[in-house]
Amino acid sequence: MPEVQAHCERMTQALAGATLSKFQLINFAGLKTFDPPADAAVGATLLAVERHAKYLMLRFDNDLTHVVHLMQGGRLRPDPKQSKKPRNGIARWVFDDVPDGGTEAWLLTEAGTERKAGVWAVRGEPREQDPMIGLGPDPTTLDLDAFAAIIGEHSRRLHGVLRTQGIVSGLGRMLANEILFEAGLSPFANASKISVDEMRALYEATLQVVAAATEQERTLDDIGKSVDRPSKMHNHSGDPCPGRGGAGPCGDTVHTVEYRRYTVYYCPTEQTRGKVLADNTTSKFLK
Ligand SMILES: [Zn+2]
């Protein structure tokens, strides 16, 4: 989510106030809606590019919004060449009256074969409609009481609760790993059973980790690869633990619990009172 936030800010700076002159669908499977038509935004002024969860919202001044989801391999980039058949191309937006330093054409691409990235044209408030309906609130918009109420009502492991987009939106595997580490909480702790102090630590770690990641993303000029994002736990299996906050190395190493689709990273010394977590399944192939 921080990478999408920073990208929305870059796009707003490059495009706010410009007029959409053309919306060009290159791969027609990339448009997920048919009513209203996406080119109903042609002639309208782009007000801003905003974020909700991991969606970008290109908000036009005629009540129309283009909602874009990049998924894993999608990118939305300036497209000075405007070639006829761009590689992996899904859709292109061309603007008039672009602010100084902005780029008039932007191209949505998706690498790989998943074909999940796409565009939804939505009239009215986009957060209350497909594809964003049912998403939980952005945790960074909540106060501690609201955060505690939402997280604490789930009798499930914290790592899973943080990653469930219907509970709080915008946190992926990496942020869940980093947040739980900075909070000093076990990824397997039951969300409904943590103490008031632990909930406060979780809330503060969420704000701090997201803010630091967003600051880092603002230094870049595009959405980078997730492996390039700085982290203390995520993707650091077996490395010396750098320690929570600015404390310095704790002497332990980064441990993992492997699942088929993701890995939980944690520091036993600082998160589980030294206990090494095992997963519940007996076979690696059943996970
Ligand atoms: Zn540690």
pLDDT per position as a tens digit, 140-161: 999 999 999 999 999 999 999 9
Segment 68-73 shows an average pLDDT of 86
Res 96 pLDDT > 50: yes
Residue type, 35: D
pLDDT at 227: 75
Res 279: pLDDT: 64
Kindly give the distance from the C-alpha atom of residue 250 to the centroid of ligand 1, in angstroms, as a whole number: 5
The answer to whether the CB of 250 falls within 8 A of the CB of 267 is yes
Question: How far is C-alpha 196 from the geometric centre of its chain's CA atoms?
Answer: 27
In the reported structure, the alpha carbon of residue 125 is separated from the centroid of ligand 1 by a whole-number distance in angstroms of: 44
Over range 91-114, report the average pLDDT: 88
Spatial CB neighbours of 125, under 8 Å, sequence gap ≥ 6: none
Are 46 and 99 contacting, i.e. CB atoms less than 8 angstroms apart?
A: no
171 CA distance to ligand 1 centroid (A)? 22
| pLDDT tens track for 226-266 | 778 889 999 999 999 999 998 899 999 999 999 888 899 99
Residue 52 phi, psi (nearest 5): -140, 125
DSSP letters for 174-212: HHHHHHHHHHT--TTSBTTT--HHHHHHHHHHHHHHHHH
Rg (CA), the chain: 21
Q: Name the strands in the sheet holding 55-60, side by side, starting at the edge strand that comes first in the sequence.
A: 46-52, 55-60, 64-69, 118-123
Q: Over the stretch 40-51, which tens digit does the pLDDT of each residue have? A: 999 999 999 999
Read off the DSSP letter of residue 124.
S
- Longest CA pairwise span in the chain (Å): 61
Q: What is the CA(240)–ligand 1 centre distance, in A?
A: 8
Which residue, among 128, 174, 171, 181, has the nearest Cα to 147 in the 3D structure?
A: 171
Q: How far is the CA of 5 from the centre of ligand 1 (A)?
A: 29
CA 177 to ligand 1 centroid distance, Å: 13
Give the whole-angstrom CA distance, residue 168 versus residue 151.
8
On the question of pLDDT at 283 being above 60, the answer is no
Rounded average pLDDT over 59-75: 92
Q: What is the mean pLDDT of the chain?
A: 92
- What is the mean predicted confidence (pLDDT) over 69-96? 92
Whole-model pTM: value is: 0.87
Query: Quick check: 102 pLDDT over 90?
Result: no
* Distance between Cα 247 and ligand 1 center (Å): 9
Mean local confidence (pLDDT), 273-285: 70
Q: From ligand 1's centre to the CA of 180, what distance in Å?
A: 12
Tokens, residue 178: 């980093």
Distance from Cα 60 to the centre of ligand 1, integer Å:
47
- pLDDT at 21 exceeding the cut of 90: yes
Higher pLDDT pick, 220 / 179 = 179
The confidence score (pLDDT) of residue 1 equals 86
In angstroms, what is the span from residue 244 Cα to ligand 1's centroid?
7
H or E element that contains 48:
strand 46-52
pLDDT at 213 over 70: yes
Q: How far is the CA of 8 from the centre of ligand 1 (A)?
A: 34
